Amino acid sequence: MASQGPSFYDPFNESRWLTMTRSGPRSAFWRQSTVRFALGTSAGLALARSLTAPTGPPRADDEVLDEGRDDLKACTGTKESSTPSEEAASPCPADMVEVDGDWCPVVEHWCLRPVDPKHVDQDRCAEFAATTRCLGASQRKRFCIDRYEWPNEAGVKPVVAVDWDTARTQCTSRGKRLCVDQEWTLACEGQERLPYPYGFARNPDACNIDKPYIFPDDAKWANPSLRPGEIARLDQRDPSGARESCVSPYGVFDMTGNVDEWVYNEQGKENEKPYFSGLKGGYWGPVRDRCRPMTTDHGPSHTGYQIGFRCCASLPNTGSTAVIPTPDDARRRTGT
């Protein structure tokens, strides 16, 4: 198929938001904000004092820590992680992370306040309610996923300007495959089904997101001799793993922000939207940068200055329905 050209995005026009999100009324938002602010000031100070002041005979350290953890959860609305830890020996290669959990087809998230109230159409949420609800039957998934974006090396900037076909070939060359979109989502949000891999509130310091948008030069991109210089001018990548807080409940780094990541969209098509070549996670610019959304407007020959990928691998004897994505697979499935 013909090339679709580079991905010179309008930074506020990522499409195909798959998460069901609701924005509450302004009055409710202000009430909730007031409560949170109070908890962050006087009540927070009182809590800190109650956790440090002696109130009786000495107790075992574990008992004191458990009580303090319960008090903090009550104040902040957080909950203990239900995502399995990596205590047992992993069946995955050393550079990959095992993901074992239940994927939900549709998750209800309540956005308490947008990043920009004047442009809610940009679909950037500053804070979600610390609750989620699965709408539909969950599906068990178990697989391996690269710890970092390709080339999957800590301290190295991820590769960009690759199309979907190239990403698939690179993964295959290492005995892996592209991630299925559902797998990628589960690895990002964990069993808690978090909107961001680090929690419910958007944090531009946690992951490489919300950098100023730099307008690309179409003519320089179209010229192969000038393209590397144009990529360097637009580049705002972090080295993989540079932000210790940008890690998912499963231990996967940089899943939101930094670079867009190619995935295999099982519900997509080859020659029309929504394509089987999906993009997940957003990049360093002012876009959605969450676990659930997926952009499906670009075919497999599409490339862009902010597009990279990571790989996944199936585990034996898991009953996984994941299909190693190839163009032939997609053609047989779509009848094209």
Domains of the chain: 92-99+140-334 (3.90.1580.10)
What does residue 231 show for φ and ψ, rounded to 5 degrees?
Answer: -60, -40
Residue 58 has pLDDT above 50, yes or no: no
Q: Give the pLDDT mean for 34-41.
A: 28
User: pLDDT band for position 89 (50/70/90)?
Assistant: confident
pLDDT of amino acid 87: 59
pLDDT value at residue 39? 27
Mean pLDDT value across the chain: 79
Q: How far apart, in whole angstroms, are the C-alpha atoms of residue 304 and residue 159?
A: 11
pLDDT of residue 318: 63
Which of 39-48, 58-67, 69-78, 134-143 is modeled with the greatest confidence? 134-143
What are the tens digits of pLDDT across the range 241-277?
Answer: 999 999 999 999 999 999 999 999 999 999 999 999 9
Q: What is the pLDDT of residue 118?
A: 86
pLDDT for 134 beyond 90: yes
Strands 133-134 vs 96-103: parallel, antiparallel or unpaired: unpaired
pLDDT (0 to 100) of residue 122: 83
**Average pLDDT for residues 28-34, to the nearest whole number?**
29
Q: Please tell me the pTM assigned to this model.
A: 0.74
pLDDT in the model for residue 329: 57
The percentage of residues in the chain with a pLDDT greater than 90, rounded to a whole number, is 65
* pLDDT value, residue 88: 67
List, as one string, the DSSP characters of 229-260.
HHHHHH--PPPTT--TT-B-TTS-B--SSSSE
User: 140-161 burial, b for 16+ CB within 10 Å, e for fewer?
Assistant: ebbbbbbbbbbbbbeeebbbbb
